[in-house]
Amino acid sequence: MQVKDRFLKYVSYDTQSDDDNLAAPSTEKQLVLANELVREMREMGISDAAVDGNGIVTGTVPGNAPDAPVLGLIAHYDTSPALTGTDVKPRVIEGYDGSDIPLNAERGIVMKVSEFGMLRDAVGEDLIVTDGNTLLGADDKAGVAEIMTAAEQLLADPGRPHGTIRLGFTPDEEVGRGADHFDVAAFGADYAYTVDGGPVGELEFENFNAATAKVTVTGQGIHPGDAKDRMINASRVAVEFQSMLPERQTPENTEGYEGFIHLMRFDGGVEEARLAYILRDHDAEKLEEKKRVMRAAGEFINGKYGKKLVSVELVDEYRNMKEQILSHFHLIDNARRAMEEVGIEPNVIPIRGGTDGARLSYMGLPCPNLGTGGQCFHGRYEHITVQSLERNVELLMKIAEIYAKRPG
């Protein structure tokens, strides 16, 4: 199956994860695609393809280079809770001409080149976009499709040198739990790459240190006509809490190595309000400072009102993988070499986010990240080109070939 067809098939599955559900996987619908991946792998000859009770899919492409290390290729198949993934209707614009793209005429949703300058890089290629109502799912079904297609092509070409390749597909990466139940020892890879980044050529071994914050504000409801000196409006207190956080430390005001505190959701009324945040920074101590700021804001408000209105629950998610990768830098050197050999310009950058690979690196599986070709993830403007999908398949096969000839 061509990688384009495989990708278009996978995005038709609604695999949105749910950060409020602690089950594994967090949504049963993710398992529909997981089982389809197992079926496809077995059909292409991967006899040990399986999905475990937590939704983690694994399988093995046998190698023909006995001295090569076992290499893992990993992607996640869930999509972000940020926008619905139900009834995704992708459109392929063949030979994109560089003009603005009307995604949804009825709703007046237009993808403008003036706002999305990266579209200029897609001119002449076959561009896959949404209908404006959903995300696309390139994060990370592009990675899944590329790995599956590379595996199929390696199996079909027994003369092409490669070591044993372990495939791994995880649920719930988008809610920070993709690696929670990943059995690194059973997976059996010496090294791995996640395929979960942006444009083709991205190569990342630095990522944010990450935490979440759930803030609950408890108010006191009184009829508004009789509320003086008695009502405590939880939503107003929540707004007060938010106003105490650093105004410039937000995603829309930061770049590069700068961290942020991002308000993801705000729900509430008079009696109770809830705020959900993610905290990110490449520097571990700066992340700790952001956590201290959150706690201090809650303590200040509780002191001001003379009672505990605000509770702040902080949970660490993952850490910067850099210190785990530096002693295995062949992973970066070999990926860069593979890119150059297939005509891709390497772009080594820090991730302004995280991947399963960050967690896995601390679990004993060094695991930097490769781009998928997708851009503008988690929203209706998400897009990817067919040629990017194809180039990444070629890249994965070249990395496997390099490790067959030059063990890590």
**Does 76 belong to an annotated binding site?**
yes
**Does 267 belong to an annotated binding site?**
no
Active site residue 78: yes
Which among 172, 173, 240, 317 is annotated as catalytic? Answer: 173
**Does 378 belong to an annotated binding site?**
yes
Active site residue 173: yes
Which among 19, 78, 146, 152 is annotated as catalytic? Answer: 78
**Does 139 belong to an annotated binding site?**
yes
Long-range contacts of 17-20 (CB under 8 A, 24+ apart): 17/78, 17/79, 17/80, 17/81, 17/171, 17/172, 17/173, 17/174, 17/175, 18/81, 18/175, 19/81, 19/174, 19/175, 19/176, 19/276
Could you give the residue numbers annotated as active site? 78, 173
Question: Binding site residues, as ranges?
Answer: 76, 139, 174, 196, 378
Question: Binding site residues for Zn(2+), as ranges?
Answer: 76, 139, 174, 196, 378
